[in-house]
Structure 1
Amino acid sequence: MEEKLPATISRTIQTKLVLPPDTNHMGTIFGGTVLASIDEIAAIAAMKHSGSVVVTASIDTVNFLSTAKAGDILKLEAVVVSTGRTSMEVYVKVECQHLDTGEITTTTTAILTMVAINSEGIPTKVSGVIPETEEEKRLFQSAQIRKSRRMQIREYSEGR
């Protein structure tokens, strides 16, 4: 029987201050800066789940819903929501606390696939995951649909 770990093991939270160098000419945070932070926290969550080094295999979806500006506080939260043999699907949510109003808004959501690798760079088996929150359960239940879509895109990209 496959070992399964609770999603809590992978849950990772980071808080960051948006600084002027993180912003574009409109004074809002660069999308690429947000993407780098999303990739980093997804990797940390996947490493906590797998107990091994990971690489990013894909970024399925990134939804930029609102923005942040210098002085705002970003809270990033990542959790493994489904697994394959060597891969982990990680959900990341980014929230912004607007310093001037105190209002908290969701700025970005993303789903990434990370692959566990060994010291030779070969993919290695990972444990399954037990979703705990309602959001995790919904994402777990729809994981196969996203995996099928990823496989179709991969085949198309490889020219098959």
Structure 2
Amino acid sequence: MESSSSEPVMSFRTRKWVRPEDLNANATLFGGSLLRWIDEEAAVYAIIQLGHQRVVTKYMSEIVFVSSAREGDIVEIGLVATKFGRTSLTMRAEARNLFTQQSILTIDELVFVNVDADGRPAPHGYTEITYDRDRVPRGDLQR
């Protein structure tokens, strides 16, 4: 799933409706709400990519707020895996307004780490990004 420039294609699959409780004092989307949504979706994406249920957020690069959203807007969150490390997965994120397609926020790097039962980094065993959902943890769930 790559574009003609060999850049991975961003997949916008998660959508969130901006509700009154998501607003700041300026009646626009609170940045903390948006970051919570992105972190949650990125964790789910990492679980699917790594095939393990125990992942943690390690790093987020500069967060660039481009525009805002208001009550009633629908925000799409897009993620794309860009690199595998021995224990980690790096991805890029963007949030945009579903109706206008205007970018709201970009994050060039989010790094998630696969951890063992004691919370220490553990090899995940993958070297290639998949866009299939065949790595979802099955009967051997790590809890």
TM-score normalised by L of structure 1: 0.68
Tell me what 1:22 maps to.
22
- 1:10-159, aligned counterparts within 5 Å? 13-52=13-52, 53-97=54-98, 102-110=99-107, 111-126=109-124, 127-130=126-129
Task: Kindly indicate whether the alpha-carbon contact (under 8 Å) linking 1:61 and 1:112 is maintained by their aligned counterparts in 2.
Answer: no
User: C-alpha distance in 1, partners of 2:61/2:116?
Assistant: 24
Task: Kindly indicate whether the alpha-carbon contact (under 8 Å) linking 1:58 and 1:113 is maintained by their aligned counterparts in 2.
Answer: yes
* Counterparts in 2 of 1:12 and 1:46: CA distance versus 1, 3 Å: farther
User: C-alpha distance in 2, partners of 1:115/1:28?
Assistant: 32
- Structure 2 letter corresponding to 1:39: D
User: C-alpha distance in 2, partners of 1:128/1:96?
Assistant: 33
RMSD: 2.1
Task: Kindly indicate whether the alpha-carbon contact (under 8 Å) linking 2:49 and 2:130 is maintained by their aligned counterparts in 1.
Answer: no
Residue segments in structure 2 that go unaligned for 5+ positions in a row: 1-7, 132-143
User: C-alpha distance in 1, partners of 2:21/2:36?
Assistant: 14
Task: Kindly indicate whether the alpha-carbon contact (under 8 Å) linking 2:81 and 2:129 is maintained by their aligned counterparts in 1.
Answer: no
TM-score normalised by L of structure 2: 0.76
User: C-alpha distance in 1, partners of 2:80/2:93?
Assistant: 7
Task: Kindly indicate whether the alpha-carbon contact (under 8 Å) linking 2:12 and 2:76 is maintained by their aligned counterparts in 1.
Answer: no
* Counterparts in 2 of 1:89 and 1:65: CA distance versus 1, 3 Å: same
* Counterparts in 2 of 1:12 and 1:83: CA distance versus 1, 3 Å: farther
Structure with the higher helix share, 1 or 2: 1
Shift of 1:38: 1.1
Residue segments in structure 1 that go unaligned for 5+ positions in a row: 1-6, 133-160
Give runs of ≥4 in structure 1 deviating > 6 Å.
none
> 1:106-150 deviations in whole A, cap 9, x for unaligned?
111112110011233232213123499xxxxxxxxxxxxxxxxxx
- Structure 2 letter corresponding to 1:75: E
Equivalences, count = 120
